[in-house]
Amino acid sequence: MDEYELFRSECETEVENQGADDEFLEQKRVWVSRAMEHRYSYHFEWLGRPIIQFPQDIVAMQEVVWTVQPELIIETGIAHGGSLILSASLLELNASCGGSPEAQVVGIDVDIRNHNRTSIEDHPLSHRISMIEGSSTAPAVIDQVVELAKTVDRVLVCLDSNHTHTHVLSELEIYSPMVSVGSYCIVFDTLIEQLSTDYLASTGRPWEPGNSPGTAVDAFLAGSAAGRFEVDHLITNRLMVTSARGGYLKRVA
């Protein structure tokens, strides 16, 4: 075992212990709940565009994209476009290091506001980005994405649009077959299961504990995903603070 492999092995043991530390997990839960009240994840940008993510998940995305070397990243949910810009920048870095020179990210959103579309299209990394306006579960949208996925070998999927159980489970059933073996389907905002109903009610959104990406992931893993996908606990145990605990789903078959 060389020095790097030894270091990685030591880290994995430490991460497993960290993820099993109940006191640390409770402190994290309290911190995340308070952070959400302050809209903490709304306060960051990536290369000039707001990116509504915890910084820890941004780092994890870099690690996943480097490891998988995707030729296509499919993202549901665009908002201000920061996540699209992040993906495009990581694909650009991969290409500069010998990765696919033609790698692309496609973003899907039911409502791409004009000012966001313009800012994304004017960005220096726009040559790696395409956008589709429409519901991620609409047949016409799905057909377009399927055609894109057919042209490449390595596909990564990120789900971050409507966070209700029914919608996320539908997205999982639709987009998971496009994920290449060894790659990931990342389901964001599983943390809704950990948040208070009072806080969620104050946001005016239709999701809540029991009706969230977390419950959709559970149903997916217990159903059609059995034997095909598994939760990569090493990622979220390493991050601790993440919006996608239990949501980094690795395709294994």
Residue 77 has pLDDT above 90, yes or no: yes
d(CA 240, CA 235): 9
Please count the structural domains in the chain. Answer: 1
Residue type, 12: E
Unique residue bearing structure tokens 């809704």: 192
| Lowest mean pLDDT, pick from 86-100, 127-141, 193-207, 227-241 | 193-207
What is the mean pLDDT of the segment spanning 134-162? 98
Answering whether pTM is above 0.85, one says yes
Domain that holds residue 66: 3-251
The answer to whether the beta carbons of residues 51 and 44 sit under 8 Å apart is yes
| Lowest mean pLDDT, pick from 112-121, 164-173, 175-184, 204-213 | 204-213
**Predicted local distance difference test score (pLDDT) of residue 146:** 98
Q: Tell me the pairing of strands 49-50 and 104-109.
A: unpaired
List the structure tokens of 171: 């997205």
d(CA 213, CA 191): 8
CA diameter of the chain: 53
What is the mean pLDDT of the segment spanning 49-77? 98
DSSP-assigned beta bridge partners for residue 113:
none
Cβ-based burial of 210 (10 A; exposed 0-12, middle 13-18, buried ≥19)? exposed
* Res. 196 pLDDT band, cuts 50 70 90: confident
The answer to whether the beta carbons of residues 83 and 160 sit under 8 Å apart is yes
Residue 1 has pLDDT above 90, yes or no: no
Closest CA to 248 of 213, 204, 197: 213
What is the mean pLDDT of the segment spanning 25-52? 96
SS3 117: helix
Unique residue bearing structure tokens 């790698």: 103
Q: What is the mean pLDDT of the chain?
A: 97
Residues comprising the chain, all counted: 253
**Predicted local distance difference test score (pLDDT) of residue 135:** 98
List the structure tokens of 197: 């109903």
CATH number of the domain that residue 137 is part of = 3.40.50.150
**Predicted local distance difference test score (pLDDT) of residue 201:** 86
d(CA 164, CA 208): 8
**Predicted local distance difference test score (pLDDT) of residue 204:** 85
- 93-105 pLDDT, tens digit per residue, is 999 999 999 999 9
